[in-house]
Amino acid sequence: MKIVCSKSTLLKGVNIVSKAVPTRTTMAILECILIDASTDEIKLIANDMELGIETKIEGDIVERGIIALDAKIFSEMVRKLPDEDVSIESDSSFKTIISCGKAKFNLIGKPGDDFSYLPYIEKNTSIVLSQFTLKEVIRQTIFSVGFNDNNKIMTGELFEIDGNILKVVGLDGHRISIRNIEMKNSYENKKVIVPGKTLNEISKIISGNADEDVIISMTDNHIVFEFDNTVVVSRLIEGDYFKVDQMLTSDYTTKVRINKKDLLECIDRSTLLVKEGDKKPIVMEVKDNSVELRINSTIGSMREEIDIEKEGNDITIGFNAKFYIDALRVIDEEEIDIYMMNPMAPCFIRDENNTYIYLILPVKIKENN
Amino acid sequence: MKIVCSKSTLLKGVNIVSKAVPTRTTMAILECILIDASTDEIKLIANDMELGIETKIEGDIVERGIIALDAKIFSEMVRKLPDEDVSIESDSSFKTIISCGKAKFNLIGKPGDDFSYLPYIEKNTSIVLSQFTLKEVIRQTIFSVGFNDNNKIMTGELFEIDGNILKVVGLDGHRISIRNIEMKNSYENKKVIVPGKTLNEISKIISGNADEDVIISMTDNHIVFEFDNTVVVSRLIEGDYFKVDQMLTSDYTTKVRINKKDLLECIDRSTLLVKEGDKKPIVMEVKDNSVELRINSTIGSMREEIDIEKEGNDITIGFNAKFYIDALRVIDEEEIDIYMMNPMAPCFIRDENNTYIYLILPVKIKENN
């Protein structure tokens, strides 16, 4: 095989597919990036058997062929090459010469035959989102996905298509994050659970440009993301997702309208007094025109008042600062509404149209003041 | 005690003195920042017994007094306060209230009596450098200071005043970095060994501005840096420094003039093939109009040629890539001169006036090609 392409093109491609190279594996071939120039196109491919990425790069194919190169060494090499044309040439014994300017590297590659290509997917249901929308919806929900592999379903996010609405849900045992996105077209109903890891990697690869689209196709076992010159295929998580709708309610006895930035900064300050691993809750006391936030720990105490508009009853409720911070950070609105029932019931941060719903479970408080 | 100052002023001061707060200590009082408002000035002080920093901040003293506050909590607190005036108030039981805007923190402080103030230093020899020059000379030498506490003297840098020249030297067992700085005035001769840690912290605090000066005073046991509103006092390392001049020579049999950027990038690429912990040398073969750099490791091999101007003999010499990279990164010249004697003798990178001298020991090479 012999191909020639610019360093920047190659680097961009290598950076994309590297996201699917496993950090630890017993199969040495999976630690490689496959360069497939066996047809008229140059493709770079990596696959950790859960997540596979293929991207096409511009370049000249001088001699057709295939070679697999150690991903870590190859990608660091490309990164450090001078900004010129790169030639990659391999012979029948997989000896590979990478030359660029006056620099010449020799590496031993592996045959492509052992490599796991991306599975062929029969695409039935496909939706279209802008790269911006996909990147945003991942950012706005992914933090609440559970890490614990004991409950595999929690480590994924629900992608549910209902007509022209895409609903994305992430949850762990303490909170639920929901985003409803209106799409340009209506599609057949479909529900899948996408691994959190896949979504994390996708959001690093896509540009976030509102003018560029991603085509997302789902089958019973796979989800496929197609954008620019890249295809990402991921296995889905098997099983039924939690019945989230049953956990939601629009009833409330207290509604608080508050400035998001003020609340976020105040809660952020309170975390100073919470030692790591300590589950000390912050206390929110809703009064007529203000809410007082306070915390009392072994380190010290803090209290701060923020002006609010209130509807309904006074309430004193405790919560884990981190869960509030995570949710507030991804809400773009300046003013938000918090809905509460009682100190034991979940509280909801949501807008009127339910484009976002953040459910946070309260923490029981024992105050001595 | 009660003081009021702006958040930004307080934060700047806290950031400066924090550099002298020890990360681990058995004396809890050393983990504090002392706020000393017992006179007409507000001083912040921290001291780990090796390195002490005192800085004055602008503000109003409502009630004179002294309080010591846990450095970590206090500095994080200040960082997260809103951008308004901060009031710090402590009572006779060391209960401290920090308020800013609507936020109010309570902390328990410590009495200042136990705190170690900075030692009083009788200043004899004082020199003046710009903050820029001091910051630069530290950057250009500090990397070659040894880490091994078994040889305490190696963990420091020599500061030697000889007339109007300040010579700064750092070395470990494999290399020596020397910078000679011409000062505006001549001073009495003096030699001290300054701890590397002190220099690292100083270079983080000073602005690097060429128009602002640092006054450096040296006694037999201490070095004092005075700049802006800050005083830094550090213990010196006791003992006699290595006789560096005996290790230098201006003899050579090969002189190579080479583009610094080309050489640096080439050596940087070669490090790809060196596994961590592996001492695989890079081989430099000096020919008539070019130098070939090559490396052969278990990962693969690389070779690259760079154009040079040569004086003297051909030579093939091996060296540790990291030592060359460290030195080349801090040399500002576009073209540099490398002086060599034979494959076993140290090589020198230096300019004509010896404003900088980087001595690097070669590594023995066994090549099979």
Q: How far is CA B331 from the centre of its chain?
A: 16
Cα B72 to Cα A33, A321, B22, B68, distances in angstroms: 45, 20, 10, 12
Contact A73 B299 (CB under 8 A): yes
Size of interface A-B (CB pairs under 8 A): 72
* Cβ within 8 Å, pair B303-A104: yes
What residues of chain A lie within 8 A of the CB of B102, using their CB? 304-306
Q: Which residues on chain B are in Cβ contact (under 8 Å) with A104?
A: 302-304
Query: Residue range A265-272: average pLDDT?
Result: 92
* Phi, psi for A174 (deg, rounded to 5): -120, -10
Give CA–CA dist B46/B49, Å, rounded. 9
Q: Do B227 and B212 contact (CB within 8 A), yes or no?
A: yes
Residue intervals in chain B for CATH 3.10.150.10 = 2-114, 125-246, 248-360
Instruction: Please answer yes or no on whether B272 and A301 come within 8 Å at the CB atom.
Output: no
pLDDT at residue A367, rounded to an integer: 66
Task: Determine, for residues A272 and B107 on separate chains, whether the beta-carbon distance falls below 8 Å.
Answer: no
Contact flag B105-A300 (C-beta cutoff 8 Å): yes
Report the chain A residue with the minimal C-alpha distance to residue B304.
A103
Rounded distance between C-alpha atoms, residue B326 and residue B250, angstroms: 22
- Per-residue model confidence (pLDDT) at position B369: 46
Q: How far is A74 from chain B (nearest CA, A)?
A: 9
Q: What is the mean pLDDT of residues A209-238?
A: 96
Rounded CA-CA distance A8/A29 in Å is 25
Q: Give the span between the Cα atoms of A47 and A32, in whole angstroms.
A: 9
DSSP code at position B252:
-
By C-alpha distance, which of A211, A189, A181 is closest to A357? A181
Mean pLDDT is lowest, of A119-128, A217-226, A339-348, B35-44, for A119-128
Cβ of A300 and B107 within 8 Å?
Answer: yes
Query: What is the domain class of A125-246 according to CATH?
Result: alpha beta
Q: What is the pLDDT of residue B26?
A: 82
- Which residues contact residue A130 at a Cβ distance below 8 angstroms, ignoring those fewer than 6 apart? A209, A210, A211, A212, A213, A214
- C-beta separation of B306 from B333 below 8 A: no
Residue A148 pLDDT > 80, yes or no? no
Q: How many residues does chain B have?
A: 369
Question: A112-143: string of b/e by CB count within 10 Å (b at 16+)?
Answer: beebeebeeeeeeeebebbbbbbbbbbebbbb
- 10 Å CB burial of residue A312 (0-12, 13-18, 19+) is middle
User: What pLDDT score does A368 carry?
Assistant: 55
Q: Are B281 and B365 in contact (CB under 8 A)?
A: yes
How many helices (H) does chain B have, and how many strands (E)?
6, 23
Spell out which chain B residues touch chain A, with contact meaning CB-CB distance below 8 angstroms: 73, 76-77, 80-82, 101-108, 265-266, 268-269, 272-273, 299-306
> Radius of gyration of chain B from Cα atoms?
25
ipTM: 0.84
CA distance A264 to A282: 13
Using CA of residue B21, residue B22, residue B23, residue B28, what is the dihedral sign?
negative
Q: Mutation target for B interface from A264, A270, A272: give the one with most B CBs within 10 A.
A: A272
Beta carbons of B361 and B174 less than 8 angstroms apart = yes
pLDDT of residue B333: 95
Minimum Cα–Cα distance from B106: chain A residue: A301
Please name the residue of chain A whose CA is at the shortest distance from the CA of residue B82: A265
Grouping H, G, I as helix, E, B as strand and the rest as coil, residue B226 is strand
DSSP codes joined into one string, A268-281: HHHGGGSPTT--PP
Q: Which residues contact B138 (CB under 8 A, 6 or more apart)?
A: B168, B199, B200, B202, B203
Contact call for B103 and A266, based on CB within 8 A: yes
The tokens describing B296, both together, are 């052969």
Query: Is B302 within 8 Å of A265 when comparing Cβ atoms?
Result: no
CB A234 within 8 A of CB A217: no
Confidence of residue A278 (pLDDT cuts 50, 70, 90): confident
Rounded to the nearest 10°, the torsion over CA A109, A111, A116, A119 is 120
What's the pLDDT at B123? 83
Are A82 and B265 an interchain contact pair (Cβ–Cβ within 8 Å)? yes
Query: Which residues have a Cβ under 8 Å from the Cβ of B208 and sit 6 or more positions away?
Result: B131, B132, B135, B136
Q: Which of A165-174, A233-242, B107-116 has the lowest mean pLDDT?
A: B107-116
- Max CA-CA distance within chain A? 80
Q: Which fold has domain A2-114?
A: DNA Polymerase III; Chain A, domain 2 (3.10.150)
- As a whole-number percent, the residues of chain A with pLDDT over 70 amount to 99
Instruction: Specify burial of residue B266 (Cβ count, 10 A radius: 0-12, 13-18, 19+).
Output: buried
Q: What is the mean pLDDT of chain A?
A: 94
Range A185-190 average pLDDT:
94
* Contacts B77 to A, Cβ<8 Å: 269, 272
Note down pLDDT in tens along chain B; length 369 residues. Answer: 999 999 999 999 999 999 999 988 888 889 999 999 999 999 999 999 999 999 999 999 999 999 999 999 999 999 999 999 999 999 999 999 999 999 999 999 999 888 888 988 888 789 999 999 999 999 999 999 988 778 999 999 999 999 999 999 999 989 999 999 999 999 999 999 999 999 999 999 999 999 999 999 999 999 999 999 999 999 999 999 999 999 999 999 999 999 999 999 999 999 988 877 777 899 999 999 999 999 998 889 999 999 999 999 999 999 999 999 999 999 999 999 999 999 999 999 999 999 999 999 999 987 654
pLDDT of residue A369: 45
Distance CA A170, CA A147 (A): 11
Smallest CA–CA distance from B79 into chain A, residue: A269
Residues in B touching A77 (Cβ below 8 Å): 269, 272
The β-bridge relationship of strands A282-286 and B125-130 is unpaired
Of residues A106, A269, A300, nearest to B80 (C-beta): A269
Interacting residues of B314 by C-beta distance below 8 A, sequence separation 6+: B254, B285, B286, B287, B288
CB contact under 8 A, A76 and B106: no
Rounded distance between C-alpha atoms, residue A369 and residue A184, angstroms: 54
Instruction: Give the distance, in angstroms, between the CA of residue A230 and the centroid of all CA atoms in the same chain.
Output: 17
Q: Which fold has domain B248-360?
A: DNA Polymerase III; Chain A, domain 2 (3.10.150)
| Binary contact (A300, B266; C-beta < 8 A) | no
List chain A residues with CB under 8 Å of B264. Answer: none
How far off is chain B from A60, nearest CA to CA, in Å? 24
Q: Chain B residues with CB inside 8 Å of A273's CB?
A: 105
The residue with tokens 């490689």 is A32
